[in-house]
Amino acid sequence: MFDFSIVTSWVHNLLMSFMPGWLTTTIECVLIGVALLLVYALLALFYIFYERKLCAWMQCRLGPMRVGPWGLLQVFADMFKILIKELIRLENIDRFLFALAPYLVIIASMLTFACLPWGNGLQIIDFNIGVFFMVAASSIGVLGILLAGWSSNNKYTLIGAMRSGAQMVSYELSVGLSILTIVVLAGTMSISGLVEAQRDGWFLFKGHIPAFIAFVIYLIAANAETNRGPFDMPEAEHELTAGYHTEYSGIHFGFYYLAEYLNLFIVSGIASLLFLGGWMPLHVPGWEGFNAVMDYIPSVVWFLAKAFFISFVLIWFRWSFPRVRIDQMLKLEWKYLMPIGLFNLILMTLVVMYDLHF
């Protein structure tokens, strides 16, 4: 399988050959930042189109068809529409916090996005506590949502923000327990280490029953943490208009919109990293010919295919179940998911201690 670190090392050595180290580092950071922003925007546009088409297919509709062939340019038209919309200046609000809130949400999403391992040797951030950093970075987003609801000086936005804060803080516990369960199995918090540990089999298959339970808990909790249906109570249209971003317009609203769809990709990418081997191809012990064929598929394709598959499951989940009540949502977390997650963590510890996994 091709190692992308060959390309990145060649670029680094090329820059170092005719410029000082500090300038090389600066240019590399700028290039990585531009690449991240470009991929971030393009993936968001793809996911908007992806969900619209899947939703239409599930409801026996066609979805967007008018702008461009098969409606492919509809998302670009929507993007330009948001960019040229007026930023409405509201009275009696905290202007600084109101303007800061969407940037906190997008920064948290970008930091977590940068942690994902895209391919063999194609990773921006990787150190021995990479999983811990990824979870910490993703937690910043709740601050932007709470600030948006409070600074808007609107009872609907405040209620939506409080609901979202309670929901995200609650379900982060189950997400953290699922991640910790896999960390116990892998024996490392390094993102590259997690991928390498699945070279001879993905954790979903070799982690025994606790890995499967952690996978199911993660899918439910991650879907709730991203405020997507049926857990979209913070944006319940029939109660709160648009929830915490009711008062936002133009590009500020666009930031929340982009972050919502990219968070869908991020939680799917993390699921593929933890349970499906990340960019690692499917290897079956003893099937050398089959494994050799799988290695010909580029690692980036493996990662994106797994992430898109998990996203399909989450989108299917959203359009299959009605919105739950706020008490049902919190009850599911505190009375069911978290106790099961704690028990599952202990069970995984015993499996690892007694070497019962595959």
In a domain, residue 61? The reply is: no
CB 200 within 8 Å of CB 283: yes
In a domain, residue 67? The reply is: no
19, pLDDT greater than 60: yes
Q: Which of 59-63, 150-154, 291-295, 301-305 has the highest mean pLDDT?
A: 301-305
CB 94 within 8 Å of CB 146: no
Structurally, the chain folds into a number of domains equal to 1
Q: Alpha-carbon torsion 109, 272, 235, 316, what sign? A: positive
Running DSSP on this structure, what letter comes out for residue 71?
A: G
Q: Which tokens is 299 given?
A: 């690692």
- Categorize the per-residue pLDDT at 308 as very low, low, confident or very high, splitting at 50, 70 and 90: very high
In a domain, residue 261? The reply is: yes
- Categorize the per-residue pLDDT at 221 as very low, low, confident or very high, splitting at 50, 70 and 90: very high
**CA 217 → CA 279, 314, 339, distances in Å?**
22, 13, 11
Would you list the DSSP string of 188-257?
---HHHHHHTTTTS-HHHHSHHHHHHHHHHHHHHHHHHTT-TTS-GGG-HHHHTTGGGTT--HHHHHHHH
Estimate to the nearest angstrom the gap between the alpha carbon of 340 and the chain centroid: 23
b/e code 91-123 from CB counts within 10 Å (16+ = b): eebeeebbebbbebbbbbbbbbbbbbbbbbbbb
The tokens 């996203």 sit on which residue?
311
Give dist(CA 311, CA 262) in Å, integer.
Answer: 11
DSSP-assigned beta bridge partners for residue 122? 119
356, pLDDT greater than 80: no
User: Residue 261 belongs to what domain range?
Assistant: 82-353
In a domain, residue 338? The reply is: yes
CB 211 within 8 Å of CB 182: yes
238, pLDDT greater than 60: no
174, pLDDT greater than 90: yes
Question: Residue type for 93, please?
Answer: I
In a domain, residue 20? The reply is: no
In a domain, residue 216? The reply is: yes
- Categorize the per-residue pLDDT at 214 as very low, low, confident or very high, splitting at 50, 70 and 90: very high
Question: Residue type for 252, please?
Answer: H
Q: What are phi and psi of 93, to 5 degrees?
A: -125, 165
In a domain, residue 316? The reply is: yes
In a domain, residue 75? The reply is: no
The mean pLDDT value of the chain amounts to 87
> Which segment of 41-45, 91-95, 144-148, 277-281 scores lowest on mean pLDDT?
91-95
For the packed helices 250-275 and 299-318, what is the interaxial angle rounded to 10 degrees? Answer: 110
